[in-house]
Amino acid sequence: MGFNLTRRTVLFVYAVLIIVPMVVVLAGTFKTTQQLFSSPFGLPDKLDGANYRQVLGQGGLGGAFRNSAIVTACSVPITLFVGSLASYGIARIRGWVGHLIYGFIVLGMAVPAQANMIPQYVLFDVLGLTNSLIGLVLINVVVTLPIAVFIMTGFLKTIPGEIYEATSIDGSGPWRTYRSVILPLSTPSLAATAIFLFVIHWNDLLYPLLFIQEPGKKTLPVALLSFQGEFLTDYPLLFTGVVVASAPIVVAYVFLQRYFVAGITAGSVKG
């Protein structure tokens, strides 16, 4: 059976390509540089948390972790709320006005971040929103609105029109319909969008790199990037930073895997 043998070989090799680097990194967080270099594939002698204490304390990842958590915890729900309001309006406004609003917002997906980041920086600087976590929340909301509206409108259009009509015959206004019919109905798509936004906002490097100079306001990806210069080839410390920065997302992935796949797939279709 040539096909089955090929299949098994390819799947095994690819699994090794994913698992080995991850295990090396995780094991490496409990090693000294010397131990890592002398036996990169080996398991650590003992589970010593010295590297973790160093990156969280002196390395500043503890504060960065907190900043990332604050920014993500604010920007994901706000994007979801503002985006779902807009998507609901777009799905229900009849005629060309709804299409126009949709087209205008979704056009933003075609604009690469590097194309408008400089004027955005100038604007945020004028408003005193650089070196500020509020500024990061705002920019996260703004730049992910187009894709959030794209995903959620796509979902809302699959809700049959009769549901809207039934509720408006009931005499309930649009806000009631949104709150008590549409939001509950779209929970799966909201969850998928939320996960997609969580991954983007948590991992974002560009905007904190642009907007944040104060060390105390840095988020995880920026703090991690600055390790590069600081610890140069101290791989165990770099690895510990990687594990700290990735832990929340990987833990969430273990439990909410299907929403990750659905959300990121929906986002990548036009992201």
Partner 1 sequence: MTNSGILLDAPARDESPTPVPPRRRRSGVNRTHPALFLFPLPALVLYVVFFAMPTFEGVRYSVTDWDGFSAEYNNVGAGNFSTIATADDLFRGALFNNLKFMLVVVVFQTLISLALAVFLVRNSRSSILLRALYFLPTILSSVSVAFIWKFVYDPNFGLINTALGAVGLDGLKSSFLGDDGKAIFFVAATQVWFHVGQMMVIYVAGLQQIPADLYESADVDGASRWRQFRHITWPLVAPASAIVIAYTTVQSFKAFDLILGMGGNPPKPSLDILSTRIYAGFANSQFGYAAAESIVFMVVIALVTWLQRRAVALAQSQA
Q: Is 27 in the site for partner 1 (CB under 8 A)?
A: no
Report in angstroms how near the CB of residue 178 gets to partner 1 at its nearest: 7
The region of 50-58, 59-67, 69-77, 248-256 touching partner 1 under the rule CB under 8 A is: 248-256
Q: Is 161 in the site for partner 1 (CB under 8 A)?
A: no
Q: Is 253 in the site for partner 1 (CB under 8 A)?
A: yes
Q: Is 251 in the site for partner 1 (CB under 8 A)?
A: no
Report in angstroms how near the CB of residue 188 gets to partner 1 at its nearest: 6
Work out which of 50, 73, 123, 134 binds partner 1, going by CB under 8 A: 123
Using the minimum distance from each CB to partner 1, give the nearer residue, 3 or 184: 3
List the interface residues with partner 1, window 167-226 (CB under 8 A): 168, 173-175, 178, 188-189, 192, 199, 202-203, 205-206, 209-210, 220-221, 224-225
The region of 47-55, 57-65, 69-77, 80-88 touching partner 1 under the rule CB under 8 A is: 80-88
Residue 87 in contact with residue 105, Cβ under 8 Å?
no
Work out which of 5, 46, 114, 160 binds partner 1, going by CB under 8 A: 114
Work out which of 5, 96, 171, 255 binds partner 1, going by CB under 8 A: 96
Work out which of 30, 52, 65, 102 binds partner 1, going by CB under 8 A: 102
* Phi, psi of 51, rounded to the nearest 5 degrees: -60, -40
- Concatenating the DSSP letter of every residue in the chain gives -HHHHHHHHHHHHHHHHHHHHHHHHHHHTTS-HHHHHH-TTSPPSS--THHHHHHHTTT-HHHHHHHHHHHHHHHHHHHHHHHHHHHHHHHHS-THHHHHHHHHHHGGGGS-HHHHHHHHHHHHHHTT-TT-HHHHHHHHHHHHHHHHHHHHHHHHTTS-HHHHHHHHHTT--HHHHIIIIIHHHTHHHHHHHHHHHHHHHHH--HHHHHH--SGGG--HHHHHHHHHHHHTT-HHHHHHHHHHHHHHHHHHHHHSHHHHHHHHHHHHHH-
**Number of residues lying near partner 1 (CB under 8 A):** 114
The region of 42-50, 52-60, 69-77, 113-121 touching partner 1 under the rule CB under 8 A is: 113-121
Cα 6 from chain centre? 35
Report in angstroms how near the CB of residue 203 gets to partner 1 at its nearest: 4
Query: HSE (CB half, 13 Å, CA atoms) of 148?
Result: 29
Distance in angstroms (rounded) separating the CA atoms of residues 218 and 196: 22
The region of 46-54, 57-65, 69-77, 86-94 touching partner 1 under the rule CB under 8 A is: 86-94
List the interface residues with partner 1, window 59-78 (CB under 8 A): none
Report in angstroms how near the CB of residue 244 gets to partner 1 at its nearest: 10
